[in-house]
Structure 1
């Protein structure tokens, strides 16, 4: 009986924690970090503010957990693409385009998680998140270089630059002040342009003679 009670208690703890994080994410997606106040999070989750503080010391810890979960989900997608049976050029293009398009599909949430001003503690978590993205892109670039398809001087620097292109290219489209309402075709076009740029920066272009023989 004691074990069953303990198991039920643990399940309730996990459910409450999940509800708090989901509510925080929902509020951020609606209006940014300023909307994700502890009281608002508690009300949306259907718990008391006191209960929120039983799981998290402060608001920053909640935001860090939301950021961590979101970025791990995106990184898992990138890693899945890197393992697909595709030419490495297609892997890189698909990884970049997918990341950018997913950001555009959730503009307020993406802006807040990647770009909105935050305190130092959350900013450090954001820095670690970008490193995870870099590691996923690094793997694809390394494969391309090994196969003689990609060319660059330094793998780590190239991966960092590519993550910079992926994350900072969306600053203007995601800016809530400008209220850009991209339709799906515009999102597709924009994400393709960013992916085209990233791929062209590392791909070895084949040159041809007049008689169509490769050099």
Structure 2
């Protein structure tokens, strides 16, 4: 007789897998991907190390899925800010503030996601999610271009530029043990930069003046 997992068995497996990823993300937030070893994740999740390999075939596989979980959460927060009520200036400003302030509050996790030295497979995933980030910004930029709120430009290129700029400017502050900038200064400056980059001014009204 061929063994077929019951619904309860499958549900337990899903919960264990979720617990492993949650534990891994907690460890990355505490000390980066280098801290999220197979043994450490297993211990945090309350399972044997061998159990981890029932769900992930390698440390890289585990790290990649931890990265996906963490990044998807942040993308969801930015997407929420971009799709709330308000004019384009307000939504872009709010999304930038969400991205920057969440990164500054969770510095270790943000640095791990953005710039920690990792193996090639995880670095490929990081590049792929940069594209996901950019695609999150494209609809609002295209909306602005189509309505004349923003000057003519490529929504795809501008979105990639915004995401790349925000990620790059965070590397120094996130990795440094000394305060290079006040958090509010860093966030406010990047908000102004991002608005200017797309052709807007802070506190703009509809139709927005270009800068």
Q: C-alpha displacement at 1:127, in angstroms?
A: 1.0
SS across alignment from 2:91: helix
Unaligned runs of 5+ in 2: 202-208
Q: Is the 8 A contact 1:152 1:202 kept in 2?
A: no
What does residue range 116-195 of structure 1 map to in structure 2 within 5 Å? 116-175=116-175, 178-180=176-178, 186-195=182-191
Number of matched pairs: 198
Distance, in Å, in 2 between the alignment partners of 1:77 and 1:142 is: 20
Report the 3-state secondary structure (helix = DSSP H, G, I; strand = E; otherwise coil) of the residue aligned with 1:169: helix
Residue 154 of structure 1 and its aligned partner are, at CA, apart by 2.2
1:86 CA displacement: 0.4
User: Normalising to structure 2: TM-score of the pair?
Assistant: 0.87
Q: Measure, in 2, the Cα distance between the counterparts of 1:181 and 1:14.
A: 41
Distance change in 2, residues 1:58/1:123 (3 Å): same
Please name the residue that 1:88 is paired with: 88
Q: TM-score when scaled to structure 1?
A: 0.85
Q: Measure the CA separation in 1 of the matches of 2:15 and 2:52.
A: 12
Q: Say if 1:172 and 1:152 are closer, same or farther in 2 by CA, change over 3 A.
A: farther
**Map of 2:193 onto structure 1:** 197
Separation of aligned partners in 2, 1:180 and 1:102: 19
- In the TM superposition, residue 152 of structure 1 has moved relative to its aligned partner by 4.6
Deviation at 1:182, TM superposition (A): 8.8
* Structure 2 contact 24–66 (Cα < 8 Å) conserved: yes
Q: CA deviation at 1:112?
A: 0.6
Root-mean-square deviation over aligned CA pairs: 2.0
Which of the two has higher C-alpha Rg? 1
Q: Which runs of 4+ in 1 moved over 6 A?
A: none
Q: Which has the higher contact order (CA 8 A, sep 6+)?
A: 1
2:33 and 2:25 mapped to 1: Cα distance?
9
